[in-house]
């Protein structure tokens, strides 16, 4: 797969401005640094080591010949105080003389767009967990970057006569230890049933600076587990991988990881509904492996969704329709031939390779920028 190489400039003043913080994988890859350097990990070290952004990006020393200017850390509001340090001209950046600035947001930024303070005029704010209708200015959804999970040649699921649906992970409050957190998760799950009254529980919870977390996922699993006409493989864990310190020390040949990836790879469909924040790593893993995601629509914003018709390649279920999920999935599945389902799987794999992988996303972002001019 050939993708255009783009030129990224990272000012030295910016790399030195936030010592002690962990750089973005894009920055460490381009600068040739150890991805483990910095504070607590935000993703598994094996992920970082498996991603070489230099396949499609290069460091440019000439600022004015660059395609993008990269701030090498997750953006925080207090970064405004030191971003225009010695040698960095605020007037040049804000006047648009420099190329667009790439900022990567953290999950904590998304509750209130007005709280995201950005001192640039020409920039793109990338965040994987944006909420539709609540996006900060100049925001775009970015993928959660993962290495290529396909070892050897890719192949579709073999048996597709009956829908096979998988999920491996946490779906609180299902199968989690009894404590105060479980009680709050039970309340979130109960709130999803307000959809019968036309109330979107996720939007309701956001008004009090909260969210549904795993509730939609748990309700969907509970609903589908009772469906005898599907082949379901639901492995419920009592703790999510991304909040487990042990997870970050695991290698790709760990039984914990193998079980998780096999659950995606061995099923035609995987439940990829949101978790703690409004995105799912599992969604990108499912596309990477060439399988079909199932999502409860939590006002999620997906990368390039103005150009990519995700509803042709994924199953979306509205929160008010979770009780009818089995019928929706059956209709989607049986209205397509085995050949069409195989083509969708191959198309999902190709979409990840050409748009959502770490090697392809930034060149596609540049194409997006150029098409807007």
The residue extents of the domains of the chain are 6-146+358-372, 164-356
Question: What CA–CA distances, in Å, run from 190 to 218, 227, 333, 372?
Answer: 11, 21, 29, 44
Question: For residue range 330-360, what is the model confidence (pLDDT) as tens digits?
Answer: 999 999 999 999 999 999 999 999 999 999 9
Concatenating the DSSP letter of every residue in 264-285 gives HHTSSEEE----SSS--HHHHH
Question: For residue range 111-160, what is the model confidence (pLDDT) as tens digits?
Answer: 455 566 777 777 888 999 898 988 888 889 999 998 899 989 999 998 89
Question: For residue range 196-223, what is the model confidence (pLDDT) as tens digits?
Answer: 777 777 777 776 566 788 999 999 999 9
pLDDT value of residue 84: 56
List, as own/partner pairs, every contact residues 154-158 make where C-beta atoms lie below 8 angstroms and the sequence separation is at least 24, other chains included.
154/289, 154/290, 154/346, 154/349, 156/290, 156/341, 156/342, 156/345, 156/346, 157/266, 157/267, 157/268, 157/291, 157/345
Q: What is the pTM of this model?
A: 0.90
In angstroms, the CA 235 to CA 222 distance is 12
pLDDT value of residue 109: 45
With 70 as the cut, is the pLDDT of residue 49 above it? no
pLDDT value of residue 38: 47
Looking at residues 92-107, what average pLDDT do you find?
69
Q: What is the dihedral of CA 26, 31, 33, 36, to 10 degrees?
A: -20
**Do 6-146+358-372 and 164-356 share a fold?**
yes
In angstroms, the CA 310 to CA 183 distance is 35
In angstroms, the CA 193 to CA 152 distance is 44
Identify the band that residue 98 occupies on the pLDDT scale cut at 50, 70 and 90.
Answer: low
pLDDT value of residue 281: 92
Q: Helix or strand or coil: residue 62?
A: coil
Signed CA dihedral, 238, 242, 244, 247: sign only:
positive
CB atoms within 10 A of CB 5: 14
Contact by Cβ (8 Å): 319, 192: yes
With 60 as the cut, is the pLDDT of residue 88 above it? no
In angstroms, the CA 58 to CA 65 distance is 12
In angstroms, the CA 80 to CA 91 distance is 14
Q: Are strands 57-59 and 6-9 parallel, antiparallel or unpaired?
A: parallel
Q: Helix or strand or coil: residue 90?
A: helix
C-alpha closest to that of 102 among 81, 128, 84, 75: 75
Task: Give bridge partners of residue 68 from the DSSP assignment.
Answer: 8
Identify the band that residue 265 occupies on the pLDDT scale cut at 50, 70 and 90.
Answer: very high
CATH 3.40.50 fits 6-146+358-372, yes or no: yes
Question: For residue range 273-309, what is the model confidence (pLDDT) as tens digits?
Answer: 999 889 999 999 999 999 999 999 999 999 999 999 9
In angstroms, the CA 295 to CA 68 distance is 33
Tell me which fold the domain 164-356 belongs to. Answer: Rossmann fold (3.40.50)
């Amino acid at each position: 797969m050939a993708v255009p190489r783009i030129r990224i400039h990272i000012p030295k003043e910016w790399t030195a401005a936030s010592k002690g913080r962990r750089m973005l994988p894009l920055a460490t890859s381009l600068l040739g640094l150890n991805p483990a350097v910095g504070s607590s990990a935000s993703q598994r070290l094996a992920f970082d080591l498996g991603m070489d952004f230099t396949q499609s990006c290069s460091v440019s020393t000439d600022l004015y010949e660059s395609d993008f200017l990269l701030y090498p850390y997750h953006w925080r509001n207090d970064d405004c105080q030191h971003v225009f340090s010695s040698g960095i001209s605020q007037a040049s950046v804000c006047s648009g003389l420099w190329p667009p600035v790439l900022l990567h947001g953290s999950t904590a930024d998304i509750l209130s767009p007005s709280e995201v303070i950005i001192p640039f005029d020409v920039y793109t704010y990338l965040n994987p967990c944006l909420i539709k209708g609540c996006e900060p200015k100049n925001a775009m959804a970015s993928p959660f970057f993962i290495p290529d999970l396909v070892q050897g040649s890719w192949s579709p699921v073999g048996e597709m006569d009956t829908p096979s649906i998988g999920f491996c992970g946490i779906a609180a409050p299902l199968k989690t230890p009894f404590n105060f957190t479980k009680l709050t998760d039970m309340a979130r799950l109960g709130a999803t049933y307000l959809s019968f009254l036309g109330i979107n529980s996720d939007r309701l919870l956001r008004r009090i600076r909260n969210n549904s977390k795993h509730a939609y996922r748990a309700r969907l699993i509970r609903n589908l587990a009772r469906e005898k006409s599907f082949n379901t493989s639901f492995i419920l864990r009592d703790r999510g991988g991304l909040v487990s310190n042990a997870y970050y020390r695991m290698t790709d040949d760990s039984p914990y990881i193998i079980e998780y990836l096999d659950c995606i790879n061995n099923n035609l469909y995987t439940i990829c509904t949101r978790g703690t924040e409004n995105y799912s790593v599992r969604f990108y893993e499912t596309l990477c492996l060439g399988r079909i995601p199932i999502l409860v629509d939590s006002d999620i914003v997906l990368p390039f969704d103005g150009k990519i018709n995700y509803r042709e390649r994924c199953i979306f279920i509205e929160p008010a329709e979770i009780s009818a999920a089995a019928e929706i999935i059956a209709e989607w599945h049986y209205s397509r031939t085995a050949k069409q389902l195989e083509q969708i799987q191959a198309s999902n794999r190709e979409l990840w390779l050409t748009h959502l992988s770490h090697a392809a996303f930034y060149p596609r972002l540049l194409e997006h920028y150029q098409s807007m001019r």
